[in-house]
Amino acid sequence: MKHFHHFKALIFFSLFMGVSALILTGSALDTGAQFEEVSTTLPQATVETQTISGAEQSASTQAAGQAEETGEDVAEEVQNEITQIRELISISKVIYTLIILFLTYFINKYLTLILDNMSEKATNYRLFIKRLAPISRIVIWSFAIYIIIAGIISPPFETVIAIGASVGIAVGFASQDILKNIFGGIIIILDRPFQVGDKIEVGVHYGEVINIGLRSCRVVTPDDSIVSIPNAELMNHSVSNANSSALDCQVVAEIYLPATVDIQQVKKIAYKAVYASSYTFLNKPVDIIVLNEVENRYFVYKLRVKAYVVDIRYEFFFKSDLTEMIVAECNRLGMVPLTIPSEKESN
């Protein structure tokens, strides 16, 4: 029995060794085949390596050539840009530009003087002629700028777009208030809420508009002071227009009279004064209003005489003329006391 077990063990050992031998033999055969394949592949790899090295050398040579060509192209482009800049800002072009600017300035100045003189001589067309001044200035300056850009400098279209965009952004950030005034001036010229020669009131300022510019409007006040009002302020505040582009305008003269006067007689005196004044525009209606008010604890009549002046420039002369004639006639008739009673007399 023991011999049988030994025999079985010997058989299993023999089978194990045989199988192991077969496995080792197969592995050796595979290794040999792989070695042969590697041996066969090595020359091919060497050839391919040599081929790759040659390709790399040719590629590096081509890259170096392309780099040299790129450097030459960049240098040529830079040189072209410098040449274009020199052509754009040459001395001759600068001189021509300055000449155009000086001529435009003096043409605008003398044209404004000519229009002012013409407006004073042609009374009926005074306001129309004065309103031509701001429009003519804009047209002349626009034409001058077009000549400078298109005729003298003549930059490429791409340069114009690039410079325009850059300048627009820079100016937009640096001068917002100025741009507001400029846009306000353009809107005033186009919309025309008032024009040159109109009497306007803006806030505490009242007077005749003598100039409408892109930045501000100038107004002459009754005391002969010139006030410059920014266009942005005119756009953000209410503007009262006394004559709305008409040559004539309504004038209101206010006269205070004691409560003892005869109202009907005073109104007749006021009507006579209006029609007797050389400043009255007779084609417009005349209104006389009487109000009862208290001044310094006294009941008084406030006489409001509304009439139209023939020319808005004589507004205050007309008001003074009416006041003088009415007060003089009331004094002549003894309707106005020469002295004001004191507090003791009134008590």
- pLDDT at site 224: 85
pLDDT, mean of each 10-residue run, the chain (347 residues): 45 42 44 47 46 54 60 68 67 85 88 83 75 81 85 74 74 71 83 86 89 88 89 88 85 90 92 94 92 81 92 90 93 73 46
In the structure encoding, which two tokens stand for residue 30, read together? 């595979």
What pLDDT score does 326 carry?
93
Strand order in the sheet with 249-258: 249-258, 298-309, 287-295
Instruction: Convert 108-139 to b/e letters by CB count within 10 Å (16 or more is b).
Output: beeebeebeeebeeeeeebbebbbbbbeebee
pLDDT of residue 68: 59
- pTM for the predicted model, two decimal places: 0.51
Beta bridge partners of 292: 301
At 116 the pLDDT is: 81
Closest CA relative to residue 213, chosen from 107, 108, 102: 108
Cα gap 141→135, rounded to integer Å: 10
> DSSP class of residue 339?
S
Say whether domain 249-339 belongs to CATH 3.10.105.10: no
Q: Output the CA angle 258-264-265, nearest 5 degrees.
A: 75
The amino acid sitting at 164 is G
Q: Where are the domains of the chain?
A: 249-339
Q: Is 114 left (phi over 0), alpha (psi -120 to 50) or beta?
A: alpha
Rounded Cα distance, 235 and 229, in Å: 11
